Amino acid sequence: MTLWRIGYSARLLKTNRFRTAASNTSFPAVWMLLAQYSGRVPGLFVVVKKNNFFTMPETVEDKANLELYLPHPEVRGMTQLNREAFKRTVVVPVLKVKKEIVNTLLKSIKHMILQRPGLKRVVEDPEDEDSRLVILDPHKISEFSLGESDQEVLKQLNVHPEVSKYNLELTYENFKSEEILRAVLPEGQEVTSGFSRVGHIAHLNLRDHQLPYRHLIGQVIIDKNPGITCVVNKTNIIDSTYRNFQMEVLAGESNLVTKVKENNITYELDFSKVYWNPRLSTEHGRIVELLKPGDVLFDVFAGIGPFAIPAAKKKCCVFANDLNPESYSWLLHNCKLNKVGHKIKAFNMDGRDFLLGPVREELSRELPLLKEEQKTSFHIVMNLPALAIEFLDVFRHLLAGEPCSTAGLPTVHCYSFSKHDDPAKDVRERAEASLGTSLDGRCSTYLVRNVAPNKEMLCISFQIPAEVLYKRPCPDGAIPASKRVCSSRDFSEAKVELKKS
């Protein structure tokens, strides 16, 4: 039986530890030892004409295949990242080829080449400086021998279809973040390498069992995602008035002022102080798409301006409001940044006051001037899904006493969460209760996104019914108009009044 050994593996046999074991052992057993020991020593050994010599025990091959995706087992439980500890050596198939034809060969055998992050496809041949070793994927080379069609391709390129085994050293750089985290975190527990990205910030929402590893998780995310230099974890649920959440910086710089691009518009913001959700970009775009130049947009809960700024860019006239003074100042900043300051009036007040004040004033000034043939539309966006429906009662009697104009009844786009079996029905019914009228056949509901299992975010859109907007308040002057609940009788009276006017 002949055996060629090339490189470090051959030298291994000379070490004391191996000499003792090998001298008392049959050949296959030596190979087992080599394979086991090869976990530490890179090198190449040839097993050509496999049938003439021997086959590597299948268990070793299977193990090697798996090990391609498993960092060294010692890393389990690590809480401080030690990149060196991830190293391991695996046995992979290689093709030995003359260096002049490497590029041509690579194109023809792309499908067989081992792909790992940061891994070189071609390495020096330690035995022959005119040759190179092309690293193949053991999953594609069954039992370390080439299929007929692959052999044919190699023959055409004048390459001897001979597969050798090579001890490949994998390092931290060659593993994906999920593989790294799966190797570190307790076995059988959920591993997440998912995050939302806001500029240079990765934002995580870790589970309790992941918390002891949070700094390591943060560092792995920075290492594996170019452009991310700060990782934060949410430390409370998003229940603050301003819809931002407390966060802990897990790794990287503690700079939370960042720049994002959404639908081709750039925004700057302090992620620790204002609301920003990259998952809303499609929804922002959808609403802005409904607007035409010259339309008027009232954005009641505007944040830093993702509806307001693109609408102003589209030459709409925009009134944007947010109660959070930080959102308000970033909104002003972004208006300047995008050169739309002249198209946006910004406010820093409660949404209810904004509707009862600037919105009411603007509508009562502009609506009576509208002619039927005029194309201007008025839109009111209310993106505060946890609460916005409760603000809809403000529209009752908002323009009571004003000359009634049905030409430009404003369209409301109001957001809400729902955990109901029929979320559209649920949102419509709650909107109806708040407005005090039926929206049957007069509204549309749009499913924006699934927020959590069994929790949807929806947008209900409707033109404010004239009988809601223009109806006179109930004859109960003691209760403020925006707080009062009227009976359905009041609304049928309002309809009659409207018909008369």
Ligand X SMILES: C[S@@+](CC[C@H](N)C(=O)[O-])C[C@H]1O[C@@H](n2cnc3c(N)ncnc32)[C@H](O)[C@@H]1O
Q: Pick out the residues of the known binding site for S-adenosyl-L-methionine.
A: 284, 322-323, 350-351, 383
Question: Which of 86, 144, 275, 470 is in the footprint of ligand X by CB under 6 A?
Answer: 275
Q: Quick one: which of 75, 280, 312, 344 contacts ligand X (CB under 6 A)?
A: 280
> How would you write 325-388 as a 3-class SS string?
HHHHHHHHHHHHHCCCHHHEEEECCCHHHHHHHHHHHHHHHHHHHCCCCCCCCEEEEECCCCCH
On whether the CB atoms of residues 445 and 459 are closer than 8 A, the answer is yes
Instruction: Determine the residue with CB nearest ligand X.
Output: 303
> CB 151 → ligand X: shortest distance, Å?
59
Q: Measured from the CB atom, is 97 or 384 closer to ligand X?
A: 384
Distances from the Cα of 216 to the Cα of 75, 176, 204, 251, angstroms: 12, 14, 13, 8
The single residue listed with the structure tokens 């992620």 is 271
Do residues 74 and 184 make contact, with C-beta atoms less than 8 angstroms apart? no
From 84-92, 215-223, 274-282, 357-365, give the range in contact with ligand X by CB under 6 A.
274-282
Looking at the Cβ atoms of 86 and 301, the one nearer to ligand X is: 301
| Spatial contact of 77 and 182, defined as CB atoms under 8 Å apart | no
205 vs 438, which CB is nearer to ligand X?
205
| Shortest spacing between CB 323 and ligand X, in angstroms | 4
Q: How many residues bind ligand X (CB under 6 A)?
A: 20
Site string for ligand X, 135-174 (x = CB under 6 A): ----------------------------------------
Pick 117 or 325: Cβ nearer ligand X: 325
The answer to whether residue 416 forms part of the interface with ligand X (CB under 6 A) is no
Residue 348: CB minimum distance to ligand X, A: 9
Q: CB-based contacts of 109: which residues, under 8 Å, 6+ apart?
A: 95, 134, 136, 150, 153, 154
Q: How far is the CB of 308 from ligand X (least distance, A)?
A: 8
**DSSP letter at 124?**
E
Q: 158 in the Ramachandran plot: left (φ > 0), alpha (ψ -120 to 50) or beta?
A: left
**C-alpha–C-alpha distance, residues 413 and 58, integer Å:** 63
3-state per-residue secondary structure call for 252-315: ECCCCEEEEEECCEEEEEECCCCCCCHHHHHHHHHHHHHCCCCCEEEECCCCCCCCHHHHHHCC
Q: Report, in Å, the least distance between residue 324 CB and ligand X.
A: 3
Segment 214 to 243, residues that bind ligand X, using CB under 6 A: 241-243
Least distance in angstroms from the C-beta of 439 to ligand X:
23
Q: Residues 285-324 vs ligand X: string with x where CB under 6 A?
A: ----------------xxx--xx-------------xxxx
Kindly state the smallest distance separating residue 292's Cβ from ligand X, in Å: 21
Contacts of 349 (CB under 8 A, 6+ apart): 321, 323, 357
For ligand X, which residue of 310, 351, 410, 423 counts as binding (CB under 6 A)? 351
Residues that bind ligand X in the complex, under the rule CB under 6 A: 241-243, 275, 277, 280, 301-303, 306-307, 321-324, 327, 350-351, 383-384
